[in-house]
Structure 1
Amino acid sequence: MTATTLRPAARGARAGGGLAGAGTLLKMWLRRDRVMMPAWIYGLTALVASTVYSFKNGYDSPASLEGFARGIDRNPSMRAMYGPVLNDHTAAGVSAWRVGATGAALTAVMCVLLVVRHTRAEEETGRLELVGAAAVGRRAPLTAALATAVTAAATAASLAAIVMIVFGLPAAGSVAFGLSWLGTGLVFAGVAAVTAQLAETSRLANGLAFAVLGAAYLVRGVADAGSAHWVSWLSPIGWAQRVRPHADEQWAVLLLPLLAFAVLAAVAHALAGRRDLGAGILAPSPGPARAAPSLRGPLALAWRLQRGTLLGWSAAFLVYGLAIGSVADGVGDLVNGSDAVLDDIRKMGGQQDVADAFLATAMGLMALFASAYAVQGVLRMRAEESGGRLEPVLATAVGRTRWALAGLAVTVAGTVALLAVTGLAIGLVHGARSHDLAGQVPRQLGAALVQLPAVWVIAAVTALIFGALPRAASAGWGVLAACLLLGQVGPLLKLPQAAMDASPFTHTPKLPGGGFAIAPVAGLTAVAIAVAAAALLAFRRRDIG
């Protein structure tokens, strides 16, 4: 009976070759990503729209834009973060500078997550083995995963170009800008395809790909901050800048990411044919027969699962904090040519002092990033459940509530660590530059930690979705994306206060520089605790798996 059932599938696979079923898998995975993919694309499009709108309305003359750009180019920290301004007298050139490298990196992150999700993660959960039992070729899942990532990157790049054109920016430069994002997405989709073959777990595959992305961004930053600008040719993020959108476009550079994608995809397919399903090229070392005393408990297990991720996030927060602290003193000079931009910074930061308003805005942004870590930490619990690893744990003396509390506790502690690292880094650098080290360190640390209750609300809401509707747990990213748009775009678009109040970050005291009030901090903390309690109750009552 088994032979009769499998024989038609084998004939179908031979008929279509190694790519049989790739189209069907692509349709299925696009449907599966109907929440995650639009959220990423919408966020990237909104980033472009808000940036172009800000520069077009914030500077009334080419001279003011040129003064701003010269201030950027004199600051090595700003060049390391965003790159040099290639066209310093138009809103198009400055907008391309502001979101070029950042948007390219975010597009790369999106592509890495999509490729690993539909390759290594599918193998890890055992679903790909079931799919492979049908009329599906050996290379079809990897091909469909790459096609999914390319579709997402192409859509984001197209919308970014369209938004620029709608705002009146030159069409050629707008198309080049979108293609620079697409090229970066292609490269890191290929990188993720390779790491998915090397690693045996999705966590390691993502970690390896993000390590390559971090190294690429670091190489570009070092090249732009120093005098050896040729080094940026070694970075795919540098290739995106070398396209020079809105600044004498260099179309031939786009051949580099295309070639890199072709080579990486070929390598990934070759590796896929040389390994067993479920195994990686890099075989993991066997662990000890018995767990160490430090691992005998749900809290230790949760820490073990999240410690690598937390370390990577901490390094990123440290670098960002050092960069923000180094430019805080000179932010007034950077935007001296535009009263409108100064007003926008004050509105978003909540104070009249430009440096404090800038730092308060930066703290709010880092709180959003800390919330991203919190969402990821909560979704790690969902991954343990969907991967079938939770049921064996609950079969021991560990109860549901204890297990969930351990995961939430490690996530909450991680958010505290991330924001503390940010506050200390900003305080040390800003204090050293302003000759007020003793005053700025506790001031900036407090400004960072006051963001925690709003972060905990996002984590609790995600936990509630996981507890009540586990299949929709990824909607936590949508909640975070809505708060991001309200906080970053709302003040610029002058949205009504009722809409702004929907975000917990609206109620956070605007520190440093603003007045501290205990009521909103206590209120947000109480909301987070109540929602987390509801999440635990919902998780305790529903079925597992």
Structure 2
Amino acid sequence: MSATSGSPTLTGTSPLTRLALRRDRLMIPLWVLITGGLVASGPGSLGSLYGTAAQRAELSASMTANSSMRSLYGPVLDDSLGGLVAWRFGTFAAVLAAVMSLLIVVRHTRDEEESGRQEMLSACAVGRRAPLTAALLTALTANAAVALLVTAGLAGQGLAGALALGLAIGGTGMVFASMAAIVAQLTESARLAKGATGGLLGLAFVLRAAGDAGSASGDSVLTWLSPIGWAQHVRAFAGERWWVLLLIAAAVVVQTAVAYGLTARRDVGMSFLPTRPGPAEGRLATTGALAWRLQRGTLFGWSAGFLVAGLVFGGIVGGAVDIVGDNEQAREIFERMGGQSALTDAFLATMVGMLGMVASLFAVGSVLRLHGEETSGRAEPLLAGPVGRLRWAAGHLVIAFGGSALIMLLGGLGLATTYGKDFGPILGAALVQLPAIWTLAGLAVLLWGAFPKAAAAGWGVAGLFLALGWVGPALNLPQVVLDLSPYGHLPKVPGPEMAWTPVLALTALAAALVTAGLVGLRRRDIRN
């Protein structure tokens, strides 16, 4: 690799950046379209629901008075259409940008070191700080694309507000990108780096939620302690505070400097917080125990997250009527997402459906852990012993399929607990989501088992279905498009009717996909 900078520590940055962008040529556009498209679709969906100033003012007053809704979305800072878009979609778009950014940075830093690829690259003319710089530049490119899409999509509502919201969302992504860069220096595994940065993101969301729940103005001290709250404090479409963007930029600069300082003081593959050595004698007697050891931290994190999410969603069920009021178009959207039942049941079905769609990400990620074990070379020594391929795969698949059932039960339990009634129907509604979750997990098994080079496409399919379920009804997409997702075929419960045919059909489809994937695994070579 030729030098691309005057500093020897940055030699090779340009080729590494191009390599990272090429490797993420599918993932980054998908994340950008989901994140930016979610916000850009806001004026159309909210404009059709709240077309008059009186309707928007009524919604603003009711949402600002509801502490549960403030904890989820934040306060409504302005009742213009742009202000409602910033309120409804700004926080979640910032979270999506943060998740995208931490995944990009960890993938091109710690994940590369853990797999051994970075050591081979470092044998060439590659500066010590070039890999980290390339990862941050890749994250910057992705966040700039999100900011541009948001700005272009909302420019009709006011260029200043659109630009402020776009920069706030993209800036939040870069805050967590630089945060992930620090964590990647401290931890020894990519899995732990993702989990730790994700935990910090969860803490930031909780701080913002707690601050907004206690303050209708949005200026709580807790909100100021959260990087997600900083995006809110930019006040897009509500008298922009441009100086808050300097706070975001300062955080990025300081965290990046810390990451650079850390990477200069360690060897490739090492970390400042090394993994604790195991016992002298192994305690894992089965492949299932090994799979549990590898994935238990992820499962515990998802379980805690779903329980908290269920508790939050259950607390805002009572505000569902306030959201909709007498607006027939809003009622129609909830009914499309949650079924033709009473409004409260439709809202509950919508919340459970959202949990189900997010749970599919856990299931797909748990399945694709097999792909990571294979490509990193850890699977080959294991399979060289008296361990069959199916037995090895079965341990991880039990975590994927059983773990998704566990987190859905916990999400349903949290929802029913704060709602205060209908425990049985709500837990049943949570379990009804499992056939669709398992169908996506089965598709991931098929891709990994039969077409390992295309295994990462499992993430793309899961993201596509998540986008369809999340913004499809609000965009009034045709039912035939919504039905592309397995979630579009599930019965909408809790409600008066329970259709077993699609549940059984999707379960059978999931079983067929898993079977086909395992057959493909038996017939192909193991990669290293």
| Corresponding residue to 1:466 among 441, 448, 451 | 448
Deviations 1:174-195 (A, max 9, x none): 0000000111111111100000
Output the amino acid matched with 2:151.
A
Structure 1 equivalent of residue 522 of structure 2: 540
The percent identity for this pair of structures is: 48
Output the amino acid matched with 1:93.
G
State the 1:204 CA deviation. Answer: 1.1
Structure 2 equivalent of residue 405 of structure 1: 394
Structure 1 equivalent of residue 306 of structure 2: 317
5 Å matches for 1:77-88?
77-87=68-78
Structure 2 equivalent of residue 138 of structure 1: 128
State the 1:385 CA deviation. Answer: 0.9
Task: Using the TM superposition, name which of 232-241 and 450-459 deviates more.
Answer: 232-241
The answer (yes or no) to whether the contact 1:54–1:341 under 8 Å persists in 2 is no
Q: d(CA) in 2 for partners of 1:474 and 1:69?
A: 42
Structure 1 equivalent of residue 65 of structure 2: 74
| Corresponding residue to 2:360 among 371, 386, 389 | 371
The answer (yes or no) to whether the contact 1:374–1:459 under 8 Å persists in 2 is yes
| Corresponding residue to 1:97 among 83, 87, 90 | 87
State the 1:514 CA deviation. Answer: 4.2
Output the amino acid matched with 2:435.
P
5 Å matches for 1:520-535?
520-535=502-517
State the 1:114 CA deviation. Answer: 0.3
Say whether 1:124 aligns with 2:106: no
State the 1:46 CA deviation. Answer: 2.5
Deviations 1:269-306 (A, max 9, x none): 111111111000112221101122xx211111111111
Say whether 1:448 aligns with 2:433: no
| Aligned partner of residue 275 in structure 1, secondary structure | coil
Say whether 1:513 aligns with 2:501: no
Q: TM-score, normalised by structure 2?
A: 0.96
Output the amino acid matched with 1:211.
G
Output the amino acid matched with 2:506.
L
| Aligned partner of residue 279 in structure 2, secondary structure | coil
State the 1:471 CA deviation. Answer: 2.3
Q: d(CA) in 2 for partners of 1:33 and 1:382?
A: 17
Q: d(CA) in 1 for partners of 2:105 and 2:186?
A: 14
Q: d(CA) in 1 for partners of 2:93 and 2:482?
A: 25
Q: d(CA) in 2 for partners of 1:198 and 1:410?
A: 28
Structure 2 equivalent of residue 201 of structure 1: 189
Structure 2 equivalent of residue 29 of structure 1: 20
The answer (yes or no) to whether the contact 2:63–2:322 under 8 Å persists in 1 is no
The answer (yes or no) to whether the contact 1:86–1:93 under 8 Å persists in 2 is yes
The answer (yes or no) to whether the contact 1:112–1:209 under 8 Å persists in 2 is yes
5 Å matches for 1:24-423?
24-87=15-78, 89-165=79-155, 168-227=156-215, 229-292=220-283, 295-336=284-325, 338-423=327-412
State the 1:417 CA deviation. Answer: 0.6
The answer (yes or no) to whether the contact 1:116–1:193 under 8 Å persists in 2 is yes
Output the amino acid matched with 1:84.
P
Per the alignment, do residues 496 and 238 of structure 1 end up closer, same or farther by CA in structure 2, a change over 3 Å counting?
closer
Deviations 1:446-486 (A, max 9, x none): 01101100100000001111112222211111111221233
Q: d(CA) in 1 for partners of 2:483 and 2:51?
A: 32
Structure 2 equivalent of residue 4 of structure 1: none
Stretches of structure 1 lacking an aligned partner (at least 5 in a row): 1-8, 432-436
Output the amino acid matched with 2:354.
L
| Aligned partner of residue 329 in structure 1, secondary structure | helix
The answer (yes or no) to whether the contact 1:68–1:337 under 8 Å persists in 2 is no
State the 1:162 CA deviation. Answer: 0.8
Q: d(CA) in 2 for partners of 1:336 and 1:517?
A: 29
State the 1:84 CA deviation. Answer: 0.9
Q: d(CA) in 2 for partners of 1:363 and 1:120?
A: 35
The answer (yes or no) to whether the contact 1:67–1:337 under 8 Å persists in 2 is no
| Aligned partner of residue 121 in structure 2, secondary structure | helix
Deviations 1:112-144 (A, max 9, x none): 000000000000000001101111111100000
Deviations 1:226-285 (A, max 9, x none): 147122111111110010001100001100111111111111111111111100011222
Task: Using the TM superposition, name which of 123-132 and 388-397 deviates more.
Answer: 388-397
State the 1:16 CA deviation. Answer: 4.7
Q: d(CA) in 1 for partners of 2:176 and 2:405?
A: 31
Deviations 1:60-80 (A, max 9, x none): 211211211222122222111
Q: d(CA) in 2 for partners of 1:13 and 1:80?
A: 47
Q: d(CA) in 1 for partners of 2:287 and 2:46?
A: 50
Pairs aligned (count): 524
Output the amino acid matched with 2:263.
A
Q: d(CA) in 1 for partners of 2:162 and 2:179?
A: 26
State the 1:490 CA deviation. Answer: 3.1
State the 1:12 CA deviation. Answer: 5.7
The answer (yes or no) to whether the contact 2:101–2:139 under 8 Å persists in 1 is yes
Q: d(CA) in 1 for partners of 2:75 and 2:274?
A: 42
State the 1:152 CA deviation. Answer: 0.5
Stretches of structure 2 lacking an aligned partner (at least 5 in a row): none
Task: Using the TM superposition, name which of 474-483 and 497-506 deviates more.
Answer: 497-506
The answer (yes or no) to whether the contact 1:370–1:419 under 8 Å persists in 2 is yes
State the 1:335 CA deviation. Answer: 2.1
Per the alignment, do residues 539 and 62 of structure 1 end up closer, same or farther by CA in structure 2, a change over 3 Å counting?
same
Q: d(CA) in 2 for partners of 1:127 and 1:57?
A: 51
Q: d(CA) in 1 for partners of 2:189 and 2:493?
A: 41
The answer (yes or no) to whether the contact 2:204–2:227 under 8 Å persists in 1 is yes
| Aligned partner of residue 221 in structure 1, secondary structure | helix
| Aligned partner of residue 473 in structure 2, secondary structure | helix
The answer (yes or no) to whether the contact 2:77–2:235 under 8 Å persists in 1 is yes
Per the alignment, do residues 536 and 209 of structure 1 end up closer, same or farther by CA in structure 2, a change over 3 Å counting?
same
